[in-house]
Amino acid sequence: MSLKFAILGYLSTGPGTGWDISRQFDTGLGWFWTARHSQIYPELKRMTQDGLVERDSETVGEALERFSYSITDRGRALLAEFTASAPVYPPNRDAERLQFIFADDTPEALRAHLEAHRERHTRRRTQLLEILDALRANTHERINLRVANRRAEGKSLTLGLRELAYQGELQRADLEIEWADGALDWLSDNTSY
């Protein structure tokens, strides 16, 4: 359901191809939503049929046909409806925690498990710091485009929301690192492993 809104959100900044959306899901936007190209192309087709986006084709080089999508007024309205609606929270599903709580029968694996947790979030942390730097230095192209399309008052809001969102991800990463450290300490103090 939200894939549609991720795409609408992306296109609300400016037109783009299915490929662009796919790229974006691997980088900036990908912190909040992702999808494979195999899901994107059929979705864009459906959205075109529903009048949420418009597709026009351009030819690159000799023969490569490329389809660029732009958001329509209907799409913009639906996106506004989404952003203004009450958040809906997904069910709790955390396979990693499941591994953790049932690891009392395989305690040898616990330390490696927690170190993997720590490393993952340390990596995320580094990546997030880079994004935040780019955001503050105004070198994040797509966001600059979005900011440019807004009038003076809206500019700081666009940037502020992004910064808050990435900041939130950063805090989450920091928390996970601290949690893993605490758990590793506890392990050292309480088991022979």
Partner DNA sequence: TTGTCCATGTAAACAGTTACATGATTGA
Partner DNA sequence: TCAATCATGTAACTGTTTACATGGACAA
Residues that bind DNA (CB under 7 A): 1-3, 17-20, 22-23, 34-39, 41-42, 44-45, 60-67, 90-91, 93
- The item of DNA, its own copies, none sharing an interface with residue 61, based on CB under 5 to 8 Å by kind, is DNA
**Least distance (Å) from its own copies to the CB of residue 22?**
13
Q: CB under 5 to 8 A by kind: which of DNA, its own copies, none does 162 bind?
A: its own copies
Rounded to whole angstroms, the Cα distance separating 132 from 193 reads 39
Q: C-beta of 186: minimal distance to DNA in Å?
A: 29
- Binding flag, residue 160, its own copies (CB under 8 A): yes
Of 55-63, 64-72, 130-138, 164-172: span binding its own copies (CB under 8 A): 164-172
When the beta carbons of 60 and 164 are compared against DNA, the nearer one is 60
Q: Does 9 bind its own copies (CB under 8 A)?
A: yes
Nearer to DNA, 73 or 91 (CB): 91
Q: Which stretch binds its own copies (CB under 8 A): 37-45, 57-65, 128-136, 154-162?
A: 154-162
Q: Is 148 in the site for its own copies (CB under 8 A)?
A: no
Task: Please name the amino acid found at residue 58.
Answer: E
The pair of three-digit structure tokens given for residue 104, joined into one six-digit string:
């009392």
DSSP 8-class letter at 87:
P
Closest separation in Å from C-beta 33 to its own copies: 6
For the bound state, the minimum distance from the C-beta of residue 34 to its own copies, rounded and expressed in Å, comes to 4
- For residues 18 and 110, give the distance between their C-alpha atoms in angstroms, rounded to a whole number: 42
Rounded Cα distance, 81 and 90, in Å: 19
Query: Which residues between 117 and 136 bind its own copies (CB under 8 A)?
Result: 117, 120
Q: How far apart are CA 173 and CA 91, in angstroms?
A: 21
26 binds its own copies (CB under 8 A): no
Decide if residue 79 touches its own copies (CB under 8 A).
Answer: yes
Which residues face 69 on adjacent strands? 16, 55
Q: Say how far apart CA 156 and CA 40 lie, in whole Å.
A: 31
Angle between helices 2-11 and 37-49 (to 10 degrees): 80
d(CA 135, CA 126): 14
Tell which residue, 17, 28, 112, has the closest CA to residue 68: 17
